[in-house]
Amino acid sequence: ALRLAGGRSRCEGRVEMEQAGAWGTVCDDAWDLADADVVCRQLRCGRAVRIHGGAAFGRGSGPILRDEVGCEGHEEHLWDCPATPEHDCSHKEDAGVVCSEHQEWRLSGGRDGCAGRVEVFFRGTWSTVCDNTWYELEASALCRTLGCGEPLRRLSFGHTLPGRMLYQCESQQPSLAHCRWTYNKSAPCHQSRAAGVICNGT
């Protein structure tokens, strides 16, 4: 089994794999995009957009199961790649990755990080969010994800970034990524403005 831990979504974090019933980590020696691509594809998280070493997502625990990983990039599983089982690493060298299907959010242009235009980082680029379906549930999921409390007011702005994302939440969700979403489909966003929000936290 394979998972990413310590990130903001299941498609970002410290690489952890299970072997003989124990979860462990991978050392960052020789960790590169080809290795990370295999991880992202295996987790159905797209492709790797950023790689991290030096325990960027926190130090793991348990055994260090792989060192000097040498994937070519087409392998189906991380454990199909050549690697050395002996290692000279500690958990401060745990490897991590950000995959293209990871989504993270920010509010920009407001007085602090809890107010402004909604922007989402997805597939390696920042995009705006269409306000056609930007209602209480969507705004509430975002304010909570950012640790900003609850929405006070929804705003609209112009679209000035290349990409457009549309979210539709049917019920309370832990984050917008758990709602239905469509990316860069022109029809639903046709006459939209860019969504914004003022949350009640700071």
Q: Domain limits at 173? A: 103-199
pLDDT of residue 178: 86
CATH number at residue 22: 3.10.250.10
Is there a single domain that holds both residue 8 and residue 63? Answer: yes
What's the pLDDT tens digit per position in 134-189? 999 999 999 999 999 999 999 999 999 999 999 999 999 888 988 999 999 877 88
Is there a single domain that holds both residue 26 and residue 59? Answer: yes
pLDDT of residue 73: 93
Domain boundary among 70, 99, 128: 99
pLDDT of residue 170: 94
Which positions of the chain have pLDDT values less than 50? none
Domain boundary among 57, 73, 99: 99
| Domain total in the chain | 2
Is there a single domain that holds both residue 108 and residue 94? Answer: no
pLDDT of residue 55: 97
Is there a single domain that holds both residue 144 and residue 79? Answer: no
Q: Which residues of 94-115 are buried (b: 16+ CB within 10 A; e: fewer)?
A: bbbbbbbbbbbbebeeeeeebb
Is there a single domain that holds both residue 83 and residue 137? Answer: no
CA angle (167, 171, 177) in 5-degree steps: 40
pLDDT of residue 202: 85
